[in-house]
Amino acid sequence: MTTATAGDVKVVILCGGLGTRLREETEYRPKPLVPIGERPILWHIMKIYSSFGYRRFVLALGYKGEMIKDYFLNYDLRYSDITLDLGSMEITPLDRRHDEQDWSITFVDTGQDTMTGGRLGRLEALLRDESRFLLTYGDGVSDLDIRALVDFHCRSERSVTVTGVHPLARFGELVVEGDRVVKFAEKPQGEREWINGGFFVMTPQVFDYLEGDESVLEGEPLERLAADGELAVYRHSGYWQCVDTYRDMLALGHQWDTGQAPWKRW
């Protein structure tokens, strides 16, 4: 496989879903803009990648995608002290309170109702000539070592690598003997179950498995890749959490606000 440095590799983030299980927030904004602390979860995801040197992002937009564009178009205004000349309307930043000036972000409208595989398929023209690219969802954070993931993918020589994670249980686990609880674990992490945690590494061969806007990446495309022996799994036993519910959003926000965010590697 052709060698590519992190700075040359594109990171695709799927940002177009409706986020129906988080309707309290997504009625007013796209799910990737749901706040975790003072920044949207999308920013946290991008910071994870940029901490490993990945700074070329492709955002696959859909539902309320214009709000994501507006967020970044006004990024300097949000996070800088400025001087505004009302005559010329010229804006001069005085003190940028961010260090993301080297990020390159491509915004692509992939359709309002397009499925995950269809959104990726609409990016083929941007990615077909890449030796590899990374892909994840716009709603999950992890302390994953991206460098180790990519190294594993290159050694596997398969078309796609998916990160397998252990989900946190939704409820406390009771271990009982008769009518007595002998052990209680609050939201224990599963030990046997591996689920799709996103954080993919892909080669352009994945496009051969996608068919139209109705293609669901997690359905037939990944099933066929697995059947063809072209799907590898990188097992990550560390921290991983997605924002599916309002409770998830509050929990991540509390971790961030109290300085206990495992995904913060910068």
Taking only the tens place, the pLDDT of each residue in 44-78 is 999 999 999 999 999 999 999 999 999 999 998 88
How large a percentage of the chain has pLDDT more than 70?
90
pLDDT over 80 at 183, yes or no = no
pLDDT band at 220 (very low <50, low <70, confident <90, very high): very high
Going from N- to C-terminal start, the domains of the chain cover: 6-164+194-257
> What is the reported pLDDT for 101?
85
Please spell the DSSP secondary structure of the chain, one letter per residue.
-----GGG-EEEEEE----GGGHHHHTTS-GGG-EETTEEHHHHHHHHHHTTT--EEEEEE-TTHHHHHHHHHTHHHHTEEEEEETTTTEEEEEEE----TT-EEEEEE--SS--HHHHHHTTHHHHTT-S-EEEEETTEEE---HHHHHHHHHHHT-SEEEEEEPPBPSS-EEEEETTEEEEEESSPBPSS--EE---EEE-GGGGGG--STT--TTTHHHHHHHHTT-EEEEEE-S-EEE--SHHHHHHHHHHHHTT--TT---
The string of pLDDT tens digits covering residues 163-173 is 999 887 665 55
The string of pLDDT tens digits covering residues 136-160 is 999 999 999 999 999 999 999 999 9
Instruction: Confirm or reject CATH 3.90.550.10 for domain 6-164+194-257, answering yes or no.
Output: yes
Distance of CA 119 to the CA centre of its chain: 14
Q: How far is 25 from 59, CA to CA, in rounded Å?
A: 20
The string of pLDDT tens digits covering residues 27-42 is 899 999 999 999 999 9
> What is the reported pLDDT for 1?
44
pLDDT over 80 at 189, yes or no = no
Model pTM score: 0.89
Q: Return the closest-CA partner of residue 62 out of 13, 11, 4.
A: 13
> What is the reported pLDDT for 2?
46
Mean of the per-residue pLDDT values of the chain: 91
User: CA 208 → CA 115, 168, 215, distances in Å?
Assistant: 16, 34, 12
> What is the reported pLDDT for 85?
94
Range from 5-9, 106-110, 183-187 that averages highest in pLDDT? 106-110
pLDDT over 70 at 162, yes or no = yes
